Structure formats: structure tokens, C-alpha cells
């Protein structure tokens, strides 16, 4: 018995092992000839795949990069928080990865630490900021897209002769202030557009609620029901999975009045969420995490292999102009429905029904409103000096990063609360 064990261990030890360095001196690569890395590696946080939003979009970007740049895609999901560090370390030690992308700000601390230990490995962090030469921090200009959906919200309110719109948010963290600021500005901008087009004045009352959670649809629902009770006609989801409760609330409110489509409407976030409650989600503020992952991979290749850029780390900020932020269009829906079908959450037979519902919902409001919203989106690519109520869009941008104090000031100058 004992001999058997010894023999087994001896055989195991003599098997070829992957090239590794000792963990105590990871900062000094000793092998003179390192094989070229061939993988794009993605580490998810505990949210993980299958959310039809943030994480699945990261996968989309990674698989597109793998295809286009002839790399292999390696995905690593985390079972719990205690997996972050070993997941990143294991991938770094393998030296197979062109870039390791950490998806989600929860991975920020772990990336910061491992980036120090493996200075020759390139990393990217989505939604987080790590100040190291080998880490690319991928951030999004959420305020731009929020302004576009804000303007749309106002025009819809005007169309239905209503005066109240709302936003339900998750935890009160600085990233969300960017959404808030853009949305409020867009709402006020929409008022001017609406007046210019119809000659009618619409003076919008803005409601906002921080639910304190990103993962609690019940709280999202309660907050939304309160807003609907106050007469809100559009509610913007800035609350992750909590926002699923927003969609439920608007769909229920609509159904109660015997309608199969809004009003009231929700506005989706991150992914194109228009299909979740077809007919009740007027549009989505898409934050293209896939574009972030793809761009980061391209940059890593340029730095590492083509050597045509000399600096890798820093901030990669993606907005409308960079294709990182956009209000959803019907074509986007087709892409995201495909993702839902692949994941098994959308029945392939329902695809047509969902598309039709969304298209007829879009046709239920005047087409000039869509044109105006997309026009604002085009304008914000280049011209940030648009001004409403004495606040230029560039002023909003200059206030980033927001603090509780600065957002309070902006709220009062835009007449919120």
C-alpha cells in the first residue's frame, strides 16, 4: 500500500510540468527565451457569465478579439472572492496571456496587487482604476449616453402630456453620479428640443432613488412603484440586477391598464435590455464592455508584439465617439437576442414576436423624437458646448469625478429634487 503510494507520487512528479517560476521571485523573469503568448484571458468576478449584460458582453468582446487576432480565448470564472487573487496569479504565471482582463470593479484590488508582482504581464480592468504601467483602466463615459436617454425621456413625457420622469439607482458610488448628471442634463436639454419642435413647454419634474443595492429586484420594484404613483412615465435603470424590478413594475402598471406596451416605460442599461419586457423598455443606454475588452486586447498586441505603441497603461475612456456608449437601435437588439438564444433564456421562436413588439413600441411615438435623440448622440461626439439652464455639457464632464457634494450642486442647478 505504502509502496504503491510512493510509486504513484514518483510517477506524478516525473510527469512534465508547465514552465513555472518560483513564487518568491516572480518579478525577475529568468528564462531567456519566452514563448510568445497566444491567449486572451478573461477573469470574471463572482457575477459571472449568463447575466445577458455586463459579463456576457465581455465574453463577446473577448471572443471577437480572439477570432480577429488569431488568439485563443481563456475564460476563468470565480467561485468566490477568494478566487480572484489565485485566478489572476495562475494566469500570470502561465505566461500564456497577451492580456488578462478583469471584468468588473470588484477585481480592482486583486489586479493592482498582481500587476505589481508580474510587471511584465499586461492587464486591463473594466470599470476600475489601477494606476500601474502594465494596467489599462477601461472606463466609460456613461454621462454621454445618459444624456441621450434623458432627452428621449423628456420628449416621451411631453408626447403623453406628463411631467414626471425618474431614475432608480443602485448603491451610491461615484460611478453612478456620472449616470445621474448626464441624465438630468439630457432631460433639461430635451425640454428645449421639445419646445422647439412643438412650441409646447414641458417642465419636467425629476425623481431619483438610491436603492442601496445592485442585486435586489424587489427594492427596484418598490422604488419604481412609488415613482409611478407620483406620475412618472419613464424610469431609467441604473441599478444592475435591481433594475429588473423596474421593468417588472412598469410592465405590471401597463398591464393593469390593459396595455401590451408602455407608457409607462423603463430605460435599460449596459446591455441592450429592450427585449427583457418587450414593449415596456423604450431604449437602453448601452455600455459596450465588449468594445472595451476588444480595444484593450488590440492595444496589448500593439504594445507587446507589433511594438508600435510605447506605452500600455493608463486610462482608456470610451464614449459615444469611441463606440463604447450608445443608445440602442433595433439592429442592436438582434445581436443581443442572439446572445439570449445562445444562453437559453430567450426562446428562438419568440425572437420574431419580441422584435415586432419592440418595433411597434418604437413606432408608437413620433419618429422625430427618435431622430432628435440620435441627433443629440451624434452631436455629443464632437460638440460638448451645448448649454441648458446655464450648464454646458462640458461643464458636467469637467465635474468628473463627482463627489456627493458636487453632484448635489449639479442637482440643484438643474432643478432636481
Residue 84, interface with other proteins (CB under 8 A)?
A: yes
> What is the smallest separation between the CB atom of 6 and other proteins, expressed in angstroms?
14
Of the ranges 11-19, 266-274, 335-343, 389-397, which one interacts with other proteins (CB under 8 A)? 11-19
Q: How many CB atoms lie within 10 A of CB 381?
A: 12
Taking CB under 8 A as the criterion, the residue among 131, 172, 352, 371 binding other proteins is 172
Taking CB under 8 A as the criterion, the residue among 60, 62, 66, 75 binding other proteins is 75
Q: How many CB atoms lie within 10 A of CB 405?
A: 8
Taking CB under 8 A as the criterion, the residue among 52, 103, 110, 168 binding other proteins is 110
> What is the smallest separation between the CB atom of 196 and other proteins, expressed in angstroms?
41
> What is the smallest separation between the CB atom of 109 and other proteins, expressed in angstroms?
4
Taking CB under 8 A as the criterion, the residue among 69, 105, 160, 374 binding other proteins is 105
If you search the block for the grid coordinates 472572492, which residue do you land on? 81
Q: Which is nearer to other proteins, 172 or 230 (CB)?
A: 172
> What is the smallest separation between the CB atom of 237 and other proteins, expressed in angstroms?
19
Sign, Cα dihedral of 233, 266, 106, 288: negative
Cβ-count burial 38-69 (b if 16+ within 10 Å, e if not): ebbbbbbbebeeebbbbbbbbbbbbbbbbeee
Residue 378, interface with other proteins (CB under 8 A)?
A: no
Of the ranges 19-27, 193-201, 225-233, 282-290, which one interacts with other proteins (CB under 8 A)? 19-27
Taking CB under 8 A as the criterion, the residue among 13, 33, 70, 310 binding other proteins is 13
Residue 126, interface with other proteins (CB under 8 A)?
A: no
Taking CB under 8 A as the criterion, the residue among 29, 64, 69, 76 binding other proteins is 76
Q: Which is nearer to other proteins, 26 or 37 (CB)?
A: 26
> What is the smallest separation between the CB atom of 287 and other proteins, expressed in angstroms?
18
Of the ranges 102-110, 177-185, 252-260, 287-295, which one interacts with other proteins (CB under 8 A)? 102-110
Taking CB under 8 A as the criterion, the residue among 30, 31, 36, 82 binding other proteins is 82
Of 326, 372, 60, residue with least CA distance to 198: 372
Q: Which three cell numbers stand for residue 397?
A: 464632464
Q: How many CA atoms lie within 13 A of 225 on its CB side?
A: 11
Q: Which residue stretches of 2-83 are H helix? A: 2-14, 54-69
Of the ranges 42-50, 219-227, 249-257, 316-324, which one interacts with other proteins (CB under 8 A)? 42-50
Sign, Cα dihedral of 321, 327, 330, 332: positive
Taking CB under 8 A as the criterion, the residue among 90, 345, 356, 412 binding other proteins is 90
The length of the chain in residues reads 417
Q: Residue 112 carries which DSSP code? A: H
Instruction: Compose the 183-222 pattern: x for residues touching other proteins by CB under 8 A, - for all others.
Output: -----------------------------xxxx-------
Alpha-carbon distance of 101 to 40, in angstroms, equals: 8
Q: Which is nearer to other proteins, 26 or 166 (CB)?
A: 26
Q: How many CB atoms lie within 10 A of CB 308?
A: 8
Taking CB under 8 A as the criterion, the residue among 29, 46, 259, 338 binding other proteins is 46
Residue 352, interface with other proteins (CB under 8 A)?
A: no
Q: Residue 105 carries which DSSP code? A: G
Q: Which three cell numbers stand for residue 85?
A: 487573487
β-strand pairing of 97-103 with 72-76: unpaired
Cα end-to-end span (Å), the chain: 76
Q: Which three cell numbers stand for residue 106?
A: 470588484
Q: Which is nearer to other proteins, 213 or 304 (CB)?
A: 213
If you search the block for the grid coordinates 414626471, which residue do you land on? 164
126 near 289, Cβ under 8 Å? yes
| Contacting residues for 349 by C-beta, under 8 A, at least 6 apart | none
Burial-class residue 412 by CB neighbours within 10 Å (0-12, 13-18, 19+).
exposed
Taking CB under 8 A as the criterion, the residue among 113, 198, 302, 406 binding other proteins is 113
> What is the smallest separation between the CB atom of 12 and other proteins, expressed in angstroms?
7
Q: Residue 381 carries which DSSP code? A: H
Kindly list the residues in this chain that would bind other proteins in the complex (CB under 8 A): 1, 12-13, 17-18, 20-24, 26, 46, 48-49, 74-77, 79-87, 89-91, 93-94, 105-106, 108-110, 112-113, 117, 171-173, 212-215
Amino acid at each position: 500500500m505504502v509502496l504503491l503510494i510512493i510509486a504513484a507520487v514518483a510517477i506524478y512528479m516525473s510527469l512534465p510540468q508547465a514552465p513555472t517560476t518560483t513564487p518568491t521571485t516572480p518579478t525577475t523573469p529568468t528564462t531567456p527565451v519566452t514563448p510568445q503568448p497566444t491567449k486572451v484571458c478573461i477573469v470574471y468576478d463572482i457575477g459571472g457569465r449568463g447575466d445577458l449584460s455586463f459579463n456576457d458582453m465581455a465574453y463577446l468582446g473577448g471572443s471577437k478579439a480572439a477570432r480577429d487576432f488569431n488568439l485563443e480565448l481563456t475564460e476563468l470564472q470565480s467561485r468566490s472572492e477568494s478566487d480572484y487573487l489565485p485566478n489572476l496569479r495562475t494566469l500570470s504565471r502561465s505566461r500564456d496571456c497577451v492580456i488578462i482582463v478583469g471584468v468588473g470593479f470588484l477585481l480592482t484590488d486583486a489586479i493592482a496587487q498582481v500587476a505589481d508582482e508580474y510587471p511584465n504581464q499586461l492587464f486591463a480592468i473594466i470599470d476600475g482604476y489601477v494606476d500601474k504601467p502594465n494596467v489599462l483602466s477601461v472606463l466609460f463615459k456613461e454621462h454621454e449616453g445618459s444624456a441621450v436617454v434623458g432627452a428621449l425621456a423628456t420628449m416621451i413625457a411631453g408626447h403623453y402630456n406628463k411631467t414626471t420622469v425618474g431614475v432608480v439607482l443602485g448603491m451610491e458610488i461615484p460611478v453612478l453620479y456620472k449616470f445621474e448628471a448626464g441624465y438630468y442634463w439630457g432631460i433639461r436639454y430635451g425640454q428645449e428640443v421639445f419646445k422647439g419642435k412643438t412650441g409646447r413647454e414641458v417642465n419636467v419634474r425629476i425623481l431619483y432613488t438610491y436603492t442601496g443595492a445592485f442585486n435586489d429586484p424587489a427594492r427596484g420594484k418598490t422604488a419604481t412603484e412609488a415613482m409611478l404613483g407620483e406620475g412618472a412615465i419613464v424610469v431609467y435603470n441604473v441599478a444592475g440586477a435591481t433594475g429588473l424590478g423596474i421593468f417588472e413594475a412598469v410592465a405590471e402598471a401597463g398591464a393593469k391598464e390593459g396595455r401590451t406596451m408602455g407608457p409607462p416605460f423603463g430605460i435599460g442599461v449596459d446591455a441592450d435590455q429592450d427585449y427583457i419586457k418587450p414593449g415596456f423598455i423604450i431604449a437602453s443606454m448601452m455600455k459596450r464592455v465588449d468594445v472595451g475588452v476588444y480595444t484593450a486586447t488590440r492595444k496589448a498586441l500593439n504594445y507587446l508584439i507589433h511594438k508600435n505603441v510605447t506605452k500600455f497603461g493608463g486610462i482608456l475612456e470610451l464614449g459615444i465617439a469611441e463606440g463604447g456608449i450608445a443608445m440602442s437601435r433595433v439592429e442592436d437588439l438582434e445581436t443581443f437576442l442572439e446572445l439570449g438564444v445562445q444562453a437559453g433564456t430567450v426562446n428562438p421562436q419568440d425572437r420574431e414576436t419580441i422584435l415586432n413588439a419592440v418595433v411597434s413600441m418604437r413606432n408608437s411615438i413620433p419618429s422625430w423624437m427618435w431622430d432628435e435623440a440620435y441627433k443629440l448622440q451624434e452631436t455629443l461626439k464632437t460638440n460638448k458646448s451645448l448649454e441648458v439652464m446655464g450648464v454646458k455639457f462640458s461643464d458636467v464632464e469637467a465635474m468628473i469625478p463627482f463627489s456627493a457634494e458636487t453632484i448635489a450642486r449639479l442637482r440643484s442647478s438643474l432643478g432636481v429634487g
